[in-house]
Structure 1
Amino acid sequence: MLAAACLIFTVAACDHKPAPLSQQEKQIVTELTADMKTRCVGRYLVDMPGDPWEWGRAKIQGVSIEAKAMTEDAWRQEVAQREEALKSTTSRDAYPFLYAAGKARGDNTYYFVHRGTIYEAPNRRYIEGYKWDRGYRFLLKVKTYDYTRPDRTNDPIVKQFGVKNEVPEKTAVVFSLMDKLRGRAPDEVPTEPGVCFAGGFLRSPAGSNEDVHAQFGWDNMQDVSFDMSTTPDICDSTTLLQRADGAEMHAELKAADGHLVRKGPVALTGMRAEEWLAEGRMDGGGRGNLFSLFVNETTSGPSTPYLSLDLTTGGQIEIQGKLVKLEKRSLTTGEAVALWDAVSRTLRMRPGAL
């Protein structure tokens, strides 16, 4: 049994380098990467082929932020409909549902303070901030509490809280973030300190308590997507390659009937990274690729934020609300590796980002 286990472990750990690209594969990769365009995520830059669609979000100082392309008229209509819905909601108890509504700071801003749902406790509060700028609507949300309305300050547990009503503090945070937000076109690369996310930019010096996620994809390759996440607040004790040599990752690879394509350190501009590239059975049963790269895993901080980049191909896609298994993935493993190299090696810190 021990000998068999060692054999399985050894086979799973071996690199299965893809065969050299055929002439057709070379042509596909050449066309795919002929027009690379710079995209901004968090405080980093990366080059993506063509004009991918982008989805993303940010969470700054505990406040979630989303941007959506929208006209000013559509934004005003959305805010008006939201206010009407909140005002028409009646709590199940004797306390109000909507506690505040009105203009925040500056033009094209608005905010609400409410209970969230009729099932929430009477001391629960949700703050929503709305802003329209340069063709984008920003929606900011944060969950908080107010133990002064209704008054529960004599509750033994509440007495332990340093702050009995967080609404003023959290509202100030939301207003401050709204002041610093601006709309941003996909190809705009800011030159000042701050954080990029899909549709927006937040002016701010390097700090903590920020989290950005972005996903890039293509309509003609629905099973291919790049995912990026970055934050200064994650600092692991081990690196990707240290974990890759562990039994857990080998077991996952074996369970997926997979094999390792490549692994090792990667030298990026001013940064050190590690990558792990695998091929195997994906969710839904189809075969595909999962490639991962990590930057600053054990040294993350305000000036060296953690970053992860993943490429997934194959598996299944959603068509008209249904998950469909792919009989043929958009890219062969060799093509996926070539695309990965073309994109991942462009990762760099945005000049002036900190």
Structure 2
Amino acid sequence: MKHWIHNKLAKVPAGIVIAALATAWALGAVLNEHGMARQDRHEVVRMTEKMKTVCVGRFLLDLPKEAQITFSTPRIDGFTVVIFPETLDEFQTRLAEREALIKAKPDRLGGDRNLEVAKEVRGDGGMTGKLLVHSRAVKEGTASNGLEIERYRHEGVAVEALMHGNGVSVNLASDFYFPDMVGNVLKLAVKLVPNPENKVPAEPGFCMDGAYLRDPLTADQLEQITMFARLPSNPDIRFLLILAAGLQPDKDGLIERDAATKSQFSPTERMRFSRLRAAPRTIGGIYGEEVVKRVHELNDSIVYSFWWEVAGTTDNIFVPHIVFQMDTGEGDHGPVPSSLSEGAAMGMWDRISSSIRVRPTQPPERVAAESPPTPLGSYAWAGERCPESGWWQCSDGGNGIGVLGGQRQYIRKGERMPQALLLPPQTLWEKLRGVQPSFESKTQTSWKLVDKRSRKRVPSPLPLAQATPVAAAGITSAGTGPSVMEQQGVAVGSFAATGLPCPASGWWLCDDPRALDGTRWFARGSLLPPATFALPPGGFSRSANSAKSIERRGAWRLVRLADAPEQAASDDNGKLA
């Protein structure tokens, strides 16, 4: 009995000891786990303490400030976009050499018409350059559709738009493009804005490395861009972001494809992969799927793979196909052990991936229901609705080639911009026959808004009083371009009187509607003339030699700043009026 009691008592302390040991082991494990969590959090905080925002396409992404970022060549509407720093002198030299090289090559028939179009381009965003269309090629042959043999013929041209602005050069190019769609590259070129410091734009558009494209762009233009990033402090960590708009979504999602891939491995190989996450995940309001894996490599390195994917849409540029990846253990000669623990890698991934969002843009201020006026220098293309009534200058013509209706034409708002009908010089035989040859440009005609007057500027029927020239007035006008004049406070709408120095070079309207002067250009510093008025017949005398006009002091109002008296009207022959 004692022995039994002794044995029972002996068993009680043993059970208590075992339970105590188990409790102590579990508590130590929990404390150790919590200690690792704190260490992981500290590591993530250290690496993400200083962040920078990167604009990629239409999205923003926050990365550690130390991240080194590179971009692949973007593609838009079938054109590759190459962007690089370059001085204006270097650009002009390269452009001249490129044009000369294209001209020197024979065309496909062995002739000297390899360069078909060389057109100056001036964009709204501060970039200028040239469009080159050349190297026409024809691909033809036969193909089987399964039942019969069909013959095909494809004709294409090489297209290059070489642009420069603010120390940045942009090449838009395609080696084989449909000839009747060459105007597409002009629509892109004029929307380019240099962005050498890669600042996040406030206006809508598509960000690239060193420049961006202003909207509107559409999904069917298939804009694509890829960004790569790495961390110098943790060189085994790599990031990848792919954006591609307008693509047909894959019928199988990321999770399903990952499972199908894993099933192709042997059981032994599958043991090296561990899924840590595999579930839908919405980031920045966009639905996607996420797969996170731990991989035991053949060299015993433990690495982590993170992948978030959006299937995308065919008609919404703000929901493109998206792939965002973060990988650890990336070495130059194969996998290396991850520099981050599993917890730290998870924390880093969650911190950075959660920052993906559509770039917000500032909506235009709506001061009235009507759209804002189209600024001078804006472009419109044949077939589009005219955005502003005024005088538009055709990009085609010149060098002996006329334009039907004149190279500058008055087009009313809402009318279709015309495709220019070009009039080459007549041969002697054509002159004898009274025949005028004509042809349409192979590229879409562009028109530039150069004046908003409602009618042509025609010479006065009577001589007008002239302004006293700058030199005679004893006032220098050096260095007084429009930007300087604006800084000096001479605004459109300012008034000046006869006999006073003209405060700004530009077009000045005589304030008296009865005067013959109308709107005239005066140079800064010249003395403003008196206004000229016509005398009624017989007002002072019935003699044929009597005066037909008088001069009197008047007031002049500035209507447009301009360095030179450029004309903006033309007659039917295309000559300046």
Measured in 2, the distance between the counterparts of 1:272 and 1:66 equals: 32
Percent identity over the alignment is: 24
Aligned residue for 2:94?
A: 78
SS of residue paired to 1:314:
coil
Aligned-residue offset at 1:215: 1.9
Q: 1:190 to 1:84 in 2, by over 3 A?
A: same
Aligned residue for 1:229?
A: 242
Q: Deviations over 1:159-180 (max 9, x none)?
A: xxxxxxx32422x111110100
Q: Could you tell me which amino acid in structure 2 is paired with residue 137 of structure 1?
A: S
Aligned-residue offset at 1:204: 1.5
CA contact (8 A) 2:198 2:210 kept: no
Q: Which runs of 4+ in 1 moved over 6 A?
A: 281-286
Q: Identify unmatched segments of 5+ residues in structure 1.
A: 1-18, 146-165, 318-323
For residues 44-55 of structure 1, the aligned pairs below 5 Å read 44-52=59-67, 53-55=69-71
Aligned-residue offset at 1:303: 4.5
Q: Deviations over 1:110-166 (max 9, x none)?
A: 23333399x9x9955211111112332111112335xxxxxxxxxxxxxxxxxxxx3
Aligned-residue offset at 1:304: 2.6
Q: Could you tell me which amino acid in structure 1 is paired with residue 246 of structure 2?
A: D
Q: 1:299 to 1:202 in 2, by over 3 A?
A: closer
1:128 is aligned, of 143, 160, 183, to: 160
Measured in 1, the distance between the counterparts of 2:80 and 2:298 equals: 29
Q: 1:229 to 1:182 in 2, by over 3 A?
A: same
Q: 1:260 to 1:314 in 2, by over 3 A?
A: same
Measured in 1, the distance between the counterparts of 2:307 and 2:113 equals: 45
Measured in 1, the distance between the counterparts of 2:92 and 2:270 equals: 51
For residues 1-354 of structure 1, the aligned pairs below 5 Å read 21=36, 25-52=40-67, 53-89=69-105, 94-95=110-111, 98-100=114-116, 102-106=118-122, 108-115=128-135, 124-144=156-176, 166-170=178-182, 172-185=183-196, 187-205=198-216, 207-208=218-219, 209=221, 210-234=223-247, 235-244=249-258, 246-251=259-264, 254=269, 257-280=272-295, 288-297=303-312, 301-317=316-332, 324-325=333-334, 327-352=336-361
Measured in 1, the distance between the counterparts of 2:307 and 2:271 equals: 16
Q: 1:90 to 1:114 in 2, by over 3 A?
A: same
When the two structures are superposed, what TM-score results if normalisation uses the length of structure 2?
A: 0.46
Q: 1:336 to 1:124 in 2, by over 3 A?
A: same
SS of residue paired to 2:352:
helix
Aligned-residue offset at 1:47: 0.8
CA contact (8 A) 1:184 1:199 kept: yes
Q: Could you tell me which amino acid in structure 1 is paired with residue 88 of structure 2?
A: E
Q: Could you tell me which amino acid in structure 2 is paired with residue 339 of structure 1?
A: M
Larger-gyration structure (1/2): 2
Aligned residue for 2:440?
A: none
Q: 1:136 to 1:68 in 2, by over 3 A?
A: same
Which moves more between the two structures, 76-85 or 228-237? 76-85
Measured in 1, the distance between the counterparts of 2:318 and 2:154 equals: 41
When the two structures are superposed, what TM-score results if normalisation uses the length of structure 1?
A: 0.72
SS of residue paired to 1:337:
helix
Tell me which protein shows more strand as a share of its residues.
Answer: 1
Measured in 2, the distance between the counterparts of 1:352 and 1:336 equals: 32
Question: CA RMSD, aligned part only?
Answer: 3.7
Q: Deviations over 1:7-45 (max 9, x none)?
A: xxxxxxxxxxxx874666544322211112211112211
Aligned-residue offset at 1:276: 0.7
Q: Quick one: higher RCO (CA 8 Å, sep 6+), 1 or 2?
A: 1
Measured in 1, the distance between the counterparts of 2:272 and 2:158 equals: 46
Q: Could you tell me which amino acid in structure 2 is paired with residue 341 of structure 1?
A: D
Aligned-residue offset at 1:341: 1.1
Q: How many residues align?
A: 307
Q: Could you tell me which amino acid in structure 2 is paired with residue 227 of structure 1?
A: L
Q: 1:122 to 1:247 in 2, by over 3 A?
A: closer
Aligned-residue offset at 1:109: 0.7
Q: 1:179 to 1:241 in 2, by over 3 A?
A: same
Measured in 2, the distance between the counterparts of 1:97 and 1:24 equals: 70
Q: 1:283 to 1:47 in 2, by over 3 A?
A: farther
